[in-house]
Amino acid sequence: MRKRLPSRERRSCVLKFPTERNGSINCYPKRRKRRIVRYKPLKEKEISIKMKIELTEKEVKATLEILALGYYIVGEGGCSQEKRKDYDSAISKVFGEYLQSMENVAVTERKIELSVEEYLDDVEDCLERYMRNNLLDNIAAALADYQYSVKDYITEVEQYSKNQIAEDMYLRVLTEKGMSAVHIEIADFEERVNQEFQAHKENIEKVTGLKKEANEKFLEAIVARIYELLAEHHMTVEELSERSRISLPILSEILSGNCNGIEWGMINKICKTCCINFAEFFTDDAFEGVYETAFFKEK
């Protein structure tokens, strides 16, 4: 016969007393552990928005000018590096898309950079006016804050009103007279400016002389390096001229010591002819003397 299950009352009594399992006595049946589920916070996903706008040529030009102008102002404003990345990405995408639509070639970062500068030049007058007006506003506000400082404009109503009136007065005077209205007292100002200028002038002359010396050493090292490559590859000057497609008169003039007309493109051709890169060309022992000059040591 099947054993009859105990009633609800009897079952409750049974669970209160020790039970024997596999020869061991447990005071109470084991309770099932409650499972705690921890949900990880969802990461915020960046939403991609596709925009398709038809603009006239003038509207496109105006949009690019505004973008270039805003990019410059934001950059000069000293925003955080993280925020700057967003602006870099945005302007690169917009200008990149514009350049790709204009010419069917791969767009490089250099082209985007040049394009931003080009459109920034077109709004240079607007930028100068903005900076000048912004400067006057800042000077007026700073002078008013110095004269009538306000910590809480809600409780210090009278002080705040004086601050605003003073700012308006300062701004009117600055707008009418410009920087001639600003006077800063510095003892022996003219004399100190002349002293600083003289020191600056002497430093420029010194650096110019050191730079000239280093440049001469650099050109000498280039000639020495080319002769080394000729020896390594068992080539004559004529053969190098023919293989690199550098005019023989120009190459001969360079090797004679007159390197003033040398261009980076010529060195690149020589490197390709000798199967080396720029780094291998300039890391030779011939250039050690260049970095030993006073120009590089003092820097």
Largest CA distance in the chain: 121
Instruction: Tell me the whole-structure pTM to 2 decimals.
Output: 0.40
As a whole number, the mean pLDDT across the chain is 76
Residue 15 has pLDDT above 50, yes or no: no
Q: CB-based contacts of 235: which residues, under 8 Å, 6+ apart?
A: 229, 243
Which residues are CB-neighbours of 281 under 8 A, at least 6 positions away? Answer: 225, 267, 270, 271
Q: Domains of the chain (ranges plus CATH)?
A: 57-122 (no CATH), 126-181 (no CATH), 210-298 (1.10.260.40)
199 pLDDT above the threshold of 60: yes
Compute the average pLDDT of residues 187-192.
82
pLDDT class of 169 with cuts at 50, 70, 90: very high
Torsion angle in degrees (nearest 10) through CA of 182, 184, 189, 195: -80
Measure CA of the first residue to CA of the last residue in the chain; give whole Å. 104
Give the Cα separation of 50 and 14 in Å (integer). Answer: 69
Residue 136 · residue 175 · CB < 8 Å: yes
| Sequence-separated (6 or more) residues with CB below 8 Å from residue 15 | 28, 29
Q: Which segment, 89-98, 147-156, 194-203, 261-270, is predicted with the most confidence on average?
A: 194-203
Q: Which residue type does 150 have?
A: V
In tens, the pLDDT along 86-122 reads 777 777 777 777 777 665 444 455 566 666 777 777 7
Each residue of 34-88: pLDDT tens digit? 555 454 555 556 677 777 777 787 887 788 788 877 777 777 666 677 777 777 7
